[in-house]
Amino acid sequence: MSEICDKTRIEMRASMMQWVIVVLLTVIATCLLIEVGLGTSPATAQVTSVGGGDVLVVGGQITKDSYGLYLVDTKRQALCVYQWLPGTRKLRLMAARNFNYDVQLDQYNADKPTPGEVKSLVEQNKRLGS
């Protein structure tokens, strides 16, 4: 039984290391592209999925003159934004946020129509259509 547990732990560590390597390679590749002037704009950004689809990595423009990475961890429901600083050749964490509770809101800081009004319109449309 102990051998099975040890084997499972080793496999889990190997899987985690592969995930970390993929993320790091994606970060390095994006930073290199930005450094040589081939950075992507938000309109042409490529989404890379790693960790079995749990993490999305998007390279894109942060400000008018800077680029970086957006990481979305769907499993942990978190978002991180990193800015590439070409002068120092480093990544700087700009923001991090867990959006677990954000996505549970029906409405926040949004104009009309409210979700309830949309629901009423849909129900009314269904009644008129049948």
Query: In terms of Cα–Cα distance, which of 3, 80, 86 is closest to 37?
Result: 86
Confidence at residue 40, expressed as pLDDT on a 0 to 100 scale: 47
Q: Which residues pair with 93 in a beta bridge?
A: 82
8 Å CB contact between 81 and 59: no
Q: pTM higher than 0.85 for the full model?
A: no
8 Å CB contact between 80 and 95: yes
Q: Name the band, by pLDDT with cuts 50, 70 and 90, for residue 51.
A: low
Other Cβ atoms closer than 10 A to 104: 7
User: Each residue of 1-36: pLDDT tens digit?
Assistant: 666 666 676 776 666 666 666 666 666 666 555 555
8 Å CB contact between 47 and 57: yes
User: Each residue of 74-123: pLDDT tens digit?
Assistant: 889 999 999 988 888 889 999 999 999 988 888 888 888 888 888 898 99
Question: Which residue ranges make up each domain of the chain?
Answer: 2-103
Q: Which residues pair with 63 in a beta bridge?
A: 66
8 Å CB contact between 30 and 59: yes
